[in-house]
Amino acid sequence: DVWPACLRYLEAELPPEDVLTWLKPLQADRRDDALVLYAPNAFVRDEVHRRYLPRIRELAAHFGGADVALDIGAMRRPEAAIGAPATTRSSIVAATPAEPFRGNLDSHYTFDNFVEGRSNQLARAAAWHAAQKPGERAHNPLLLYGGTGLGKTHLMFAAGNEMRRINPAARILYLRSNEFYNAFFRALQEKTADQFKRQFQQIDALLIDDIQFFAGKDRTQEEFFHTFNALFDGRQQIILTCDRYPREVDGLEPRLKSRLGWGLSVAIDPPDFETRAQIVLSKARERGALVPDDVAQLIAKKMRSNVRELEGAINKLTAQAGLLGRPVTMEFAQETLRDLWRAQQQAISIANIQKAVADYYGLQLREMLGKKRTRSLARPRQVAMALAKELTEHSLPEIGVAFDGRDHTTVLHACRQIRHLMESDGKLHEDWDKLIRKLSE
C-alpha cells in the first residue's frame, strides 16, 4: 500500500507533533490511478499542500508511481462512486452531523495522562469544566496562560478530547494562531473570506493555541475579534492559550484584551518538585519503561524549568535503556544524562544569577553585592544566594566568595531564611519562581 509506506518515511523525517497534527488525520483512497488523501477540513488540506505535498509526491512516485491529490472530507463511499460524480465537500460546512467531524485534535493528550499539582490544578479544573459544559458563560472564553512547556496545549487538547468523549459528534477545531492567520490571508487572496467565516458557524468549540502571536497583526486580530464575537454569541466554547497574561502582550488590541477577560483566565505555573517527579514517572510508564523513584527524583531535581525538558530527559533515558537492554538505575541515569545536566549547569552561573536578580529588583549589581544591610538590598541579596545554592553545584563557601567574600554561614543563613519566608510570603514565592524560570530558559 502506497500511503502507509510513505507515512513510514514521513514519520522518520518529521517531528512527531507534525505527523500527528497533519498527516495522521489524512485518509487515503485510490481514485483511478491516483492516490487521494482526504483531509478533515480545509485548514489541514491547505497546510499539507503547502508543507508536505512535494515530499509526499516524491515518496508516492517511489513506492508505486502514483499521482497524488488532496481533497477534503471523508472517503468517498463506494456507492457514490458508481455513476454519480464523486461528491467532495468543499469545506467543513458541508459535513452533516451523521458523519463525525474529524478535527485535528491530538487524541494522545487527555486529562488521564495530565499530572495534577499545585501549579496547574486550577487550570486543569477550568479546562475540565469547560469540557463538561461547553459554552457556559462562567468559562467562555477559557484562557490558559503561562510559560512554554508547562502543559497549556496538553490541557487544551484534553478539553477537546473530553468534549468529544462526552459527545462524539462534537465538532472541535484546533488551530495554532499562525494557522488561523495563514488561513485567513489565503481566504482573502482567494476571495473566499465569506467561506472562511462560515466555517466557524458550525463548530462547537474553537481552540486557538498561542494567541500571543496575534500581536501586531491588526487585520488578523480584527478578523479574530469578529469570529470571537460570533462564537461567543452562539454560545460556542472558545479556548485560548497565551504565553503570558494577555494584558501584558504588547500589540494586542485593547478591545480584544478586554473580551478575553470575559470568561475565565487561569495561570499555569512551573510544577514543583513533587509534581515534576510524578510527571517523570507517568511519562516513563507511558513509554513502558520502569523508572525507580530515586531516578525520577533525580531528574526532577535537575530539570526544573519546564515539562518539555523533563520529557526530553525521559526520552533519552528510556531510549538508551531500551537500546542497550539495561535497567534504569541511578548510575545509568547519571551516566546517560550527564551531558544534559552539564548543558543546564553551564547555562546557569552565579554571575548570571546575580545579574538576573539585580535586574529583577531594579538594583545596581554593585549595590546588591555590597555591604549595606537595608532590607531592599539585603532581601534580594539573600534571594540571589539561595538561588545560587539551588541552581548551581557550587558549595556554600564558593558562593560566599562570589558574594563579595562573605562567609559560608551567611550563605547558609540566606538559604534557610528564604525557604522559611517563602512559606508565608506569596510575593516572594512568586519572585522565586519567576527568577528560576527566567534563569532556566
Binding-site entries for ATP: 149, 151-153
Gyration radius of the chain over CA positions: 26
Q: Which of 311, 367, 398, 433 binds ligand ADP (CB under 6 A)?
A: 311
> Which residue's C-beta sits nearest to ligand ADP?
151
Complex with Mg ion: residue 25 or 147, whichever CB lies closer: 147
In the complex, what is the shortest distance from the CB of residue 153 to Mg ion, in angstroms, rounded to a whole number? Answer: 3
Q: Which of 123, 279, 291, 386 binds ligand ADP (CB under 6 A)?
A: 279
User: Could you tell which of ligand ADP, Mg ion, none binds residue 22, using a CB distance below 5 to 8 A set by kind?
Assistant: none
Q: Is 153 in the site for Mg ion (CB under 5 A)?
A: yes
User: Could you tell which of Mg ion, ligand ADP, none binds residue 23, using a CB distance below 5 to 8 A set by kind?
Assistant: none
Q: What is the DSSP string of 302-346?
A: H--S-HHHHHHHHHHHHHHHHHHT----HHHHHHHHHHHHHHHHH
- Only segment of 150-158, 248-256, 295-303, 312-320 that touches ligand ADP (CB under 6 A): 150-158
- Only segment of 16-24, 144-152, 186-194, 282-290 that touches Mg ion (CB under 5 A): 144-152
Q: Which three cell numbers stand for residue 127?
A: 479546562
Complex with ligand ADP: residue 45 or 152, whichever CB lies closer: 152
User: Could you tell which of ligand ADP, Mg ion, none binds residue 315, using a CB distance below 5 to 8 A set by kind?
Assistant: none
Q: Which of 45, 154, 276, 437 binds ligand ADP (CB under 6 A)?
A: 154
Q: Is 381 in the site for ligand ADP (CB under 6 A)?
A: no
- Only segment of 145-153, 229-237, 276-284, 408-416 that touches Mg ion (CB under 5 A): 145-153
Give me the helices (H) in 167-306, please. Answer: 177-189, 193-199, 218-233, 254-260, 273-286, 293-302
Q: Which of 233-254 are b and which e, b meaning 16 or more Cβ less than 10 Å from the residue's Cβ?
A: eeebbbbbbbbeebeebeebee
Complex with ligand ADP: residue 240 or 399, whichever CB lies closer: 240
Q: Is 126 in the site for ligand ADP (CB under 6 A)?
A: no
Q: Is 178 in the site for ligand ADP (CB under 6 A)?
A: no
Long-range CB pairs of 114-117, under 8 A, 24+ apart, other chains included: 114/151, 114/154, 114/155, 114/158, 115/271, 115/275, 115/278, 115/279, 115/282, 116/275, 117/271, 117/272, 117/274, 117/275, 117/278
Q: Evaluate whether 240 touches 247 at the Cβ level (below 8 Å).
A: no
Q: Is 317 in the site for ligand ADP (CB under 6 A)?
A: no
Q: Evaluate whether 417 touches 424 at the Cβ level (below 8 Å).
A: no
Q: How far apart are CA 29 and CA 25, in angstroms?
A: 13
Q: Is 265 in the site for Mg ion (CB under 5 A)?
A: no
* Strand ordering across the sheet containing 237-242: 172-176, 205-209, 237-242, 142-145, 264-267
Q: Is 437 in the site for ligand ADP (CB under 6 A)?
A: no
In the complex, what is the shortest distance from the CB of residue 25 to ligand ADP, in angstroms, rounded to a whole number? Answer: 19
User: Could you tell which of ligand ADP, Mg ion, none binds residue 149, using a CB distance below 5 to 8 A set by kind?
Assistant: ligand ADP
Complex with ligand ADP: residue 27 or 212, whichever CB lies closer: 212
Q: How far apart are CA 19 and CA 25, in angstroms?
A: 9
In the complex, what is the shortest distance from the CB of residue 205 to Mg ion, in angstroms, rounded to a whole number? Answer: 17
Measured at the alpha carbon of residue 400, what is the angle toward residues 396 and 404, in degrees to the nearest 5?
170
Complex with ligand ADP: residue 112 or 233, whichever CB lies closer: 112
Q: Is 305 in the site for ligand ADP (CB under 6 A)?
A: no
Q: How far apart are CA 183 and CA 50, in angstroms?
A: 12
Question: Which is nearest to 381 in space by CA: 359, 413, 403?
Answer: 403
- Only segment of 79-87, 151-159, 181-189, 419-427 that touches Mg ion (CB under 5 A): 151-159
- Only segment of 126-134, 147-155, 253-261, 290-298 that touches ligand ADP (CB under 6 A): 147-155
Q: Evaluate whether 195 touches 227 at the Cβ level (below 8 Å).
A: no
Question: Which is nearest to 390 in space by CA: 345, 338, 337, 339?
Answer: 345
3-state secondary structure of 356: helix
Q: Evaluate whether 369 touches 404 at the Cβ level (below 8 Å).
A: yes
Q: Is 18 in the site for ligand ADP (CB under 6 A)?
A: no
Q: How far apart are CA 9 and CA 106, in angstroms?
A: 20
User: Could you tell which of Mg ion, ligand ADP, none binds residue 311, using a CB distance below 5 to 8 A set by kind?
Assistant: ligand ADP
Window 98-117: residues binding ligand ADP (CB under 6 A) = 109, 114-115
Q: Where does this chain bind ligand ADP (CB under 6 A)?
A: 109, 114-115, 120, 148-154, 279, 282, 307-308, 311
- Which positions lie near Mg ion, rule CB under 5 A? 152-153
